[in-house]
Chains A and B, each alone.
Chain A
Amino acid sequence: MTEQWGFYFDAEKCIGCHACTVACRVRNDVEADGPKWRRIVHAENGTFPDYEQVSVSIACMHCEDPPCRTVCPTGAIEKRNEDGIVVVNQDKCIGCHYCAWSCPYGAPKFDDNNKMQKCHLCLGEGGGDGYGSPPKAKEEDGGTKPACVDNCVGGALKAGPMDELTKEVTDSAVNQATQRKGNIIIEAGGPTVTFESESD
């Protein structure tokens, strides 16, 4: 693969405000009651008064070896060679939901036509498939940031080529990231969150 794009998330800087989830809908033209490509989990722990919460912003993590692709019976899901972004060819999608069951992040969602859609790192416009869109350019080459990153209040979310993201973060975050199949770097000191698959 020429390049692998991914996300960076720092729970210390996430204020759980949902600007990212609404920005995702606005940029990609998803109705309020439409599929949630990005969501926030307000994970909680303990009982009053020894109680704490942590907010985690989650979307498709564009896995190194996407389980959704493995289970897709029609080959509608692709991992693009040029930027590693996982996209879906909606013409091939038969709406069987296998991808939703296999995804650890609950990323695949379905529209009214039962076609899979999800985060495509803001490739092109609408739809959520990203199929056939040009490669994700680096910001300095004129590429835009995903809407969620663009509107993250605390700077908790970043996106970009993984090798560039890893330059800015702690070693332990990088170690953790390399052990994951998903392309997400979670800053050290962040939460241990178990992602549970969910379907629409």
Chain B
Amino acid sequence: MSETDANDGGVRRRTLLKAGGAAAAVGLTGVGINAVGEEAEAASDESGRETVHGNCWICRASCGQEVTVADGKAIDLTGVDGHPKASAGEGREGTLCSKGMGQLNKTYNPNRIREPHIREDGELRAASWDEAIEFAAQRLEEFAEEHGPEKFLRYQGYPLGKHPWHDLVFKNLYGAPIKVGRKTTCHGPFSDSWAWMSGYGREWPDWQNSEYIIAWGRNVMECFRGQWEPKGVLDAKERNDATVVCIDPRYTKTAEVADQWIPIKPRTDGALALAMANVIIEEGLYDEEFIGNYTHGFESYKEAVADKTPEWAAEITDVDADVIRDIAIGFAEAAPSSVAFPWTGIAYQSNGFKNAQNIQALNGLVGNIDSKGGTRQWTAGFGLDDPHEKQGIDVPANYEDQPTPDYDDYPFQRHVRDLSHNLVPKAVERGDIKGFVNNWSQPPKSGNTRAWFEALEEMDLVITVDAFWTGVSKRADVVFPGASQLEQPFLQTGGDGSYSTNGWVTGSKPAIEPVGNCRRDYQVYKALAEEMGWGEYFPWETGEEYYDSQLEAIGLSFDELDEKSYEIVADFEYRQYEDGGFDTENGLFNFDLDAKPEYKALADDIGVSTAPAWHPPDDDLFGETTNEEYPLLFTDLMVEQFSRGHCQALSQSLEAYAQRFGHEDEDYRGNYLHINPKDAKARGIEDGDWVKVQSADDEIELMANLWEGIRPGWVGTENGFGVGSAQPDEEGANSMLLNKERHVEPTTGMTARNHPVEIERLGGEPR
């Protein structure tokens, strides 16, 4: 790329068009990088534009993109028609969400880190790639000699697609055995409960074929894993006349499309699920055939729900008993084409594991597991080749022999080899962790913020690959400026998409050259490996070559895939468990988790049942709840504009978010405290006021948004803002300042995100 490009903060089409002739004369090297043969040329019109493919990775959903490129610049985007992630299926239109549309804003963002940086005499300074790679390699070698590689923590946020290069260098070759499990920052309670009950941790709803959808603590119309999800729900409504029930203390866009919004009392979801089971069993609406042939622990489930009547649950949940009966019967009668699907609303709870287990048990009870319109067990139905194996390269597993620290005093760590996010500062304090490598992630925004900041200062070596200056990159010793999604090759396979019974592959070449001195992932890891003497494990020139080798398994070249954007590869059937059972200890769907030794030991130890059971959020084990001093419950929320924490530097998204809550006329571009007018009035708070959220441990300040769509007694804000964020002025509040080491869900070590607080109106202007 030319110098002009490197310094171009944000592409402006008008400027570009006016400067068209001049730009051509400079001779941009990025022009037509995707031009492979006649097809690409044919896609290029008279204006010198061409349409190439990409895969959106802003929320790691991999929606197929059509990217318009002119003179080496990406100038427009839309979704690929028929794409498994971007569309509702064959012949259907592909789209991108507002976050995805913000990708140009990300790529050409003036705040992007464009040069490698190294820390010298305590200060970060720009460096050449050669310098930075050499510096990193030397520091890594010194670190291994002094502390051992086992004290180097891996923390991966958003490496593009499923590329293995980060782990290849740091896990297999360097030998760092521990990473922070994503399950402890996002989805542990429901993915672990599912994995232990049904053998698969990330099942997905067959939305478009469903007849009864319960979005439970899940805002599927906004926080989706691809455009196919909201499209699937709309299809189900239109084509199947499906009933959609939204269970959430806040009125979301899912509540907007739902037939019924149930603003449940927070953290009581498990009680509601048990009462629904009580109704389904009383009414004889359960699936006897499925239970008889494929499940374990039905008796203890039955026993657990025997006295959990709708009237019992109504008192706890504040959901009318008749409503509980109605949704239980509706859900059961639509089975097996019905689905109760929990997500982060459940995972964020201190009693989230038991609540998720109770909800998941409902799906087993009515037999909608892996069924048409039910909840599917993911499978791609095919595999890709291992390029190393094909080249006869034996990749070492140097991490295997490394010692790992013992955290027996933290029960949840017993069955998680990886560290719980909130325990990292403790591990640093104990001397078990002394450095870490970070890839596109902002750990201080995922829990235990203050302790994480201190831990970062304490560490001997911090290496990061990122695009923006954040709480981590500002504190790093080496900063590698990573290429953004449009600048990278991409490959991904899956089954979770709009093709209910097909596995698919999607892939794309880089649409443009990296801006500035940013580098593609493969080139970063290859250079580092070569410097450390491991060049033999990176024999391919580019990531594209590596992907090409992987794709040979299905007889497709990377060129061909890029041209098509996606390919439907395999067929797989519903009800795969009928052939070989579930991938669990006993091959059965487990209502009762006594068959899972790790969980049984933990449950015995902490004194909870292995069967579905109700555990209120205020007992000694499950943590704190509101009291006179802190009468409101505060939680973290997500919205469509920011469903992932690292997107917050994007001005287009910030603008859309401000519009969404009617504050676009304010200068403030931080997050809002959503509070019911009733709670606000009692505190003299008006819309747009600056308020303080005070917990027993800490406090944050942000702007109030008065809203009838949020349950009185409950308040919340969107996460990802404030100190440590990618926004240059760190505007807004980092909600994780309220979170401390002890705020974890006791089974999975997941960051618990509910805090008793009091809210106070402040004078002055928002900061």
Contact = CB atoms under 8 A, between A and B. Distances in A.
A52 B246 CA distance: 13
Contacts of B660: 16, 18, 40, 42
A161 interface: no
Contacts of A39: 659
Contacts of A71: none
Interface string A11-44: 0110111110111011101011100100110101
Interface in B708-766: 708-712
B230 A153 contact: yes
A48 B76 contact: no
A33 B93 CA distance: 29
B96 A126 contact: no
Contacts of A40: 659-660
A55 interface: yes
Interface string B651-689: 111111001101010000000000011100000000000
A33 B96 contact: no
Interface string A79-112: 0000000000000000000000000000000000
5 contacts: A26-B76, A44-B709, A53-B256, A151-B101, A155-B93
B222 A19 contact: no
B209 to A, nearest CB: 18
Most chain A CB atoms below 10 A, which of B98, B251, B660, B664: B98
B510 interface: no
A167 B656 CA distance: 33
Interface string B77-100: 111000000000000010111101
Contacts of B227: 153
Given A26-B104, A27-B76, A48-B709, A19 B97 contact: yes
Given A29-B13, A32-B654, A32-B655, A46 B708 contact: yes
B715 to A, nearest CB: 13
Contacts of B709: 44, 48, 51, 53
A21 B651 contact: no
B641 interface: yes
Contacts of A152: 95
B253 A32 contact: no
Contacts of B221: 15, 17
A54 interface: yes
Given A22-B656, A154-B234, A125 B253 contact: no
A27 B104 CA distance: 11
Contacts of B10: 31
A13 B234 contact: yes
Given A22-B656, A48-B708, A154-B230, A15 B676 contact: no
Contact of A21 (B17, B78, B251, B656): B656
B297 interface: no
Given A32-B105, A33-B655, A154-B234, A17 B97 contact: yes
B162 interface: no
A52 B75 CA distance: 37
A18 B13 contact: no
Interface in A46-67: 46-49, 51-55
B12 interface: yes
A160 interface: no
Contacts of B102: 22
Nearest to A27: B76
Interface string A129-160: 00000000000000000010011111100000
A28 to B, nearest CB: 8
A15 B255 CA distance: 10
A18 B658 CA distance: 11
B640 interface: yes
A18 B256 contact: no
Given A16-B256, A32-B651, A153 B97 contact: yes
Interface residues of B, number: 53
Interface of A: 12-13, 15-19, 21-23, 25-27, 29, 31-33, 36, 39-40, 42, 44, 46-49, 51-55, 125-127, 147, 150-155
**10 A-B pairs with least C-beta separation:** A32-B651, A29-B13, A22-B101, A18-B656, A18-B98, A22-B98, A126-B14, A32-B655, A32-B652, A15-B221
Interface string B207-233: 000000000000001100001001100
Nearest to B664: A36
A115 to B, nearest CB: 13
B256 A54 contact: yes
B659 A153 contact: no
A52 B76 CA distance: 35
B17 A125 contact: yes
Nearest to B86: A153
B708 A44 contact: yes
Nearest to A15: B221
B257 interface: yes
Contacts of B17: 125-126
Contacts of B711: 48-49
Contacts of A126: 13-14, 17
Nearest to A45: B708
Contacts, number: 128
B640 A17 contact: yes
Interface string B404-444: 00000000000000000000000000000000000000000
A28 B659 CA distance: 19
Given A15-B253, A21-B98, A26-B101, A48 B263 contact: yes
Given A40-B660, A127-B14, 7 more contacts: A15-B256, A16-B640, A16-B660, A19-B100, A22-B653, A23-B96, A125-B14
Contacts of B14: 29, 125-127
Contacts of B655: 32-33
A150 B78 contact: yes
Contacts of A48: 263, 676, 678, 708-712
B101 A19 contact: yes
B96 A151 contact: yes
A113 B113 CA distance: 32
Interface in B224-266: 227, 230-231, 234, 251, 253, 255-257, 261, 263
A15 B659 contact: no
Nearest to A32: B651
Contacts of A53: 251, 255-256, 709
A27 B706 CA distance: 34
Contact of A42 (B222, B255, B662): B662
A48 B714 CA distance: 12
Contacts of A52: 251, 256
Nearest to A24: B101
Nearest to B256: A53
B306 to A, nearest CB: 30
B126 to A, nearest CB: 27
A33 B651 contact: yes
Most chain B CB atoms below 10 A, which of A36, A152, A155: A155
A55 B660 CA distance: 10
Nearest to A198: B665
A50 B17 CA distance: 52
Nearest to B97: A19
A19 B654 CA distance: 13
B706 to A, nearest CB: 11
A126 B12 CA distance: 10
Given A151-B101, A153-B97, A16 B253 contact: yes
Contact of B13 (A17, A33, A125, A154): A125
B485 to A, nearest CB: 15
A79 B398 CA distance: 72
Contact of B708 (A13, A16, A17, A51): A51
A15 B97 CA distance: 11
A157 to B, nearest CB: 11
A97 to B, nearest CB: 17
Contacts of A153: 95, 97, 227, 230-231
A36 B261 CA distance: 32
A145 to B, nearest CB: 9
Most chain A CB atoms below 10 A, which of B13, B76, B101, B659: B101
